[in-house]
Structure 1
Amino acid sequence: MIGNNISEFPRRHAAIRSGRFCTLHAAGVDVSAALRDISAAGAFIETDYALHIDEPVVLSHPLAGAIRAQVVRVGRDGAALRFLAGEDAATFALASLCAGMTSAADYTLNA
């Protein structure tokens, strides 16, 4: 069963996904960020940098490129970003998801 295979997958592999790490350009500075969730509508990023609601940012992924976004929610551990709906947002989301899956699979095969 697929569900059993997933639950047996070691947690350490999920934490090593290089496709998850990004750079966020906000208020003239570049800061580290990690993707927690992403879709064509937006993303939730983990960062220690203080962001503000309605702040314009650029999220850069090492393999997926960059996309403009707006901060729509701020939490203790990060912020929710909204992308302008369209083909660029869908392409960015799919590319970052694929990069995360590919790097996790590569790590598993080479471990």
Structure 2
Amino acid sequence: MISSNITEFPRRHAAVRSGRVSMLLASGVNVGASLRDVSAAGVFVETDHPLRLGEPVVLSHPLAGAIRAYVVRVGRDGAALSFPAGEDAATFALASLCAGMTTAVDSALNA
């Protein structure tokens, strides 16, 4: 039931900036990446590591876990990754967004 909702979920309503530092396993190399525009369909990662269109990667977040993805767009500052639709993608997106919100609250309280 959830999976069918995710497939139909319009991207323009779900993208949110997280900024949480993560790790990206690409071509057998672990590199740092910062999450941007997180949704249940995918994420844009800011990274200096060159990525190729169609390349399979594994994105690991310190609190949200890991998820397999594919590079669907490459930009100057990173790449857009697509997640396979399903509960794992929704769980990863929600957990990474919640972690980002917690970090923002902690930073505000400690300022």
TM-score (normalised: structure 2): 0.82
Q: Kindly provide the amino acid, as one letter, of the partner of residue 107 in structure 2.
A: Y
Total equivalences in the alignment = 94
Greater Rg by CA: 1
Aligned equivalents of 2:28 and 2:66: distance in 1?
Answer: 15
Q: CA deviation at 1:106?
A: 1.0
Where has structure 1 moved over 6 Å in runs of 4 or more? none
Is 2:82 the counterpart of 1:82? yes
Q: What SS does the corresponding residue of 1:54 show, helix, strand or coil?
A: coil
Aligned equivalents of 1:107 and 1:80: distance in 2?
Answer: 27
1:69-92 deviations in whole A, cap 9, x for unaligned? 000000110000000000000000
Aligned equivalents of 2:104 and 2:64: distance in 1?
Answer: 16
Q: CA deviation at 1:49?
A: 0.4
Superposition pairs of residues 31-70 of structure 1, within 5 angstroms:
31-70=31-70
Aligned equivalents of 2:27 and 2:105: distance in 1?
Answer: 35
Amino-acid identity (%) = 74
Aligned equivalents of 1:106 and 1:32: distance in 2?
Answer: 22
Richer in helix (by share): 1
Q: CA deviation at 1:108?
A: 0.8
Q: 5+ residue gaps in structure 1?
A: 1-16
Aligned equivalents of 2:104 and 2:40: distance in 1?
Answer: 22
TM-score (normalised: structure 1): 0.82
- Superposed CA RMSD in Å reads 1.1
Q: What SS does the corresponding residue of 2:92 show, helix, strand or coil?
A: helix
Q: 5+ residue gaps in structure 2?
A: 1-17
